[in-house]
Amino acid sequence: MAKKKSVYYGIWGPAFKGVVDSHKEFKAYVTGKKGMYGKKFTLEQEALDWVENFVSPKEQQQPSASNNACAYAIYGPVFTGIVYTKEEFIDKVFGKKGMRGKKCVNEQQAQKWLEAFAKQQKKKKTQKAVIAPAKITTVEQEHQNRAEQMVIYIDGSFKKDKGTYGIIVYSTHNSEPIYRDFGYVYDEHFNDLQNVGAELMACLRALEWAFANRLQQVCIVYDFEGILHHCYKDSSHTALKIYQEMVHRFKAVMDIYFLHVRHGNKALHAEAHQLTQLIL
């Protein structure tokens, strides 16, 4: 008897972005659902690439102009200028002493921000020197250093009618992760969203850990695009409303950066995914 070929389904839309290997699950996400798109593949990587690079028909119809593209202004001793990808922005700014940056709607706005920030820095240098504050204690300094260097890899999964999440905390001061966590999603509102709810809960758990450890700045590395999407899109669903509210509360007390990676593209993110599979 011939071996059955593996089949993977890429799914893209507001409710879910990712890959499944069940036709039943594929139909549940896509069939009759507004704004949901899907495609069948024989290789998982092809499905992942399709999801990663998918452009909706609405986006295809929008005119593209370089002066309307999102731009990131960066100012500091190592680099001053404009970049156009979030990954490059994070790489040049996050955890780098003296580096400052801002996301702008276009290149012109980024250029204006750079000019204004440069003038502000020049003005500070010309002001009279003031007495330096008391030296920060060793413990406080360590917290400050950790806040500038902390990265949390997150992932979520849904099996046996309950979501699970995994987080891996990494600091550039350490060669190994400093914290790992696994847990179940017990909130039924989040479980109603299945895999989506588990991914969002993973993000909230990561931010709770960052808040509990008094971090002033943290980078969340994720593979589900809804992590960032649901921060800003209004929804009537209870879980999505809770998620949006809590993320904005955390953003009020610390700087949060979001970095998207492909599923399993980073070793530590793959480890976070493995944690989600620890089903009892």
HEC letters along 134-168: CCCCHHHHHHHHHHHHEEEEEEEEEECCEEEEEEE
Most confident stretch, 3-7, 194-198, 260-264: 194-198
The pLDDT value recorded for residue 160 is 79
| DSSP class of 81 | E
| Confidence check: pLDDT of 167 > 50 | yes
pLDDT per position as a tens digit, 230-263: 887 788 899 999 999 999 999 999 888 888 877 6
> Could you tell me the pLDDT band of residue 96, with boundaries at 50, 70 and 90?
confident
In three-state secondary structure terms, 273 is helix
Contacts 24+ apart (CB under 8 A), 139-143: 143/214, 143/215
Average pLDDT, the chain: 79
| Confidence check: pLDDT of 196 > 90 | yes
| Confidence check: pLDDT of 126 > 70 | no
- Residue 164 neighbours by CB under 8 Å, 6+ apart: 156, 157, 158, 182, 183, 184, 185, 198, 275, 276, 277, 278, 279
The pLDDT value recorded for residue 59 is 62
The pLDDT value recorded for residue 17 is 82
| Confidence check: pLDDT of 141 > 60 | no
The pLDDT value recorded for residue 34 is 87
pLDDT per position as a tens digit, 22-69: 888 889 889 888 889 999 998 888 888 787 777 777 666 554 444 446
**Averaged pLDDT for residues 166-194:** 87
d(CA 242, CA 235): 10
Domains of the chain and any CATH numbers:
8-61 (no CATH), 71-124 (no CATH), 150-277 (3.30.420.10)
154-168 CB burial, b ≥16 within 10 A, e <16: bbbbbeeebbbbbbb
| Confidence check: pLDDT of 147 > 80 | no
Residue 102 · residue 73 · CB < 8 Å: yes
d(CA 255, CA 277): 30
> Could you tell me the pLDDT band of residue 130, with boundaries at 50, 70 and 90?
very low
Token pair 């039943």 in the structure block, residue: 24
Token pair 């994720």 in the structure block, residue: 222
The structure tokens listed for 8 are 């993977």
The pLDDT value recorded for residue 212 is 94
Cα angle vertex 259, ends 157, 34, to 5°? 60
DSSP per residue, 156-211: EEEETTEEEEEEEEEETT-SS-SEEEEEEE--HHHHTTTHHHHHHHHHHHHHHHHH
**Averaged pLDDT for residues 186-190:** 93
| DSSP class of 237 | S
